[in-house]
C-alpha cells in the first residue's frame, strides 16, 4: 500500500485514485513539449496534481465536471505511447498524461469516466408539467394581489385587519397584542 499524506481540503474517503503520472506542461520548450512527473489525486469532483506525494500545495487542480477522458496514443512517439490519456473539455484546457503502464492509463480513464457518469446522474430530472405549475401563478396577469410576492414580515408594521396573529410567539418582555 502506498502511504499518502492527506492534503488540505481533501477527505480520504473521497479519493478515488492517486498515483504518479507524467503531465505534459502547457509551455513547449525548444525541444518540444516537456513531460513532468506529478503526484495526481482524483476525488469526486476535482483532479489535483502536485510536485510529489509529500507536497502540501497542489501545482494545479481543475474541476473534472464537463470533461471527458480517453486514451490518447498519439501524444507520444516512444515506447510509452500506449500509456497516454487526455482530459478534454470544449473551451477549456486539455490535460495530457502518461501513466506508468497501459493498464494504469486505462484504469485512470475508467475511473474518470465512471465519476463523470456519476456526476451527471446527480442532476435531478424535472417534469416540465411541474415546472409550469410552479410559475403560472407568479407571472399571470389575472393575479389579484401581485404585491404579496414581495411582502416581508416586520413586527413593527401595523396589523392588517382580518389577519389572525395567533401563529406568532410572544417574546419575553412584550405584551400580547389585543385581538
Q: Any idea where the domains of the chain sit in the sequence?
A: 15-122
The 10s digit of each residue's pLDDT in 84-132 is: 999 999 999 999 999 999 999 999 999 999 999 888 776 555 555 544 4
* Residue 119 in grid coordinates: 456526476
The 10s digit of each residue's pLDDT in 49-90 is: 999 999 999 999 999 999 999 999 999 999 999 999 999 999
Higher pLDDT, residue 45 or 172: 45
What CATH class does 15-122 carry?
mainly beta
Which pTM was predicted?
Answer: 0.61
Given pLDDT bands bounded at 50, 70 and 90, which one contains residue 140?
A: very low
Q: Would you say 85 and 107 are in contact if contact means Cβ atoms under 8 Å apart?
A: no
Amino acid at each position: 500500500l502506498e502511504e499518502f499524506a492527506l492534503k488540505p481540503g481533501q477527505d480520504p474517503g473521497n479519493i478515488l485514485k492517486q498515483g504518479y503520472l507524467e503531465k505534459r506542461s502547457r509551455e513547449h520548450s525548444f525541444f518540444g513539449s516537456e513531460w513532468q512527473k506529478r503526484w495526481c489525486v482524483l476525488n469526486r469532483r476535482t483532479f489535483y496534481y502536485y510536485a510529489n506525494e509529500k507536497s502540501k500545495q497542489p501545482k494545479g487542480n481543475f474541476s473534472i465536471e464537463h470533461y471527458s477522458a480517453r486514451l490518447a496514443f498519439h501524444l507520444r512517439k516512444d515506447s510509452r505511447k500506449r500509456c497516454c490519456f487526455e482530459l478534454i473539455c470544449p473551451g477549456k484546457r486539455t490535460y495530457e498524461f502518461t501513466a506508468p503502464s497501459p493498464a494504469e492509463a486505462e484504469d485512470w480513464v475508467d475511473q474518470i469516466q465512471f465519476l463523470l457518469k456519476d456526476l451527471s446522474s446527480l442532476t435531478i430530472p424535472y417534469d416540465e408539467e411541474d415546472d409550469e405549475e410552479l410559475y403560472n401563478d407568479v407571472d399571470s396577469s389575472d393575479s389579484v394581489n401581485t404585491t404579496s410576492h414581495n411582502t416581508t414580515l416586520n413586527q413593527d408594521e401595523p396589523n392588517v385587519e382580518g389577519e389572525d396573529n395567533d401563529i406568532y410567539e410572544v417574546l419575553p418582555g412584550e405584551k400580547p397584542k389585543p385581538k
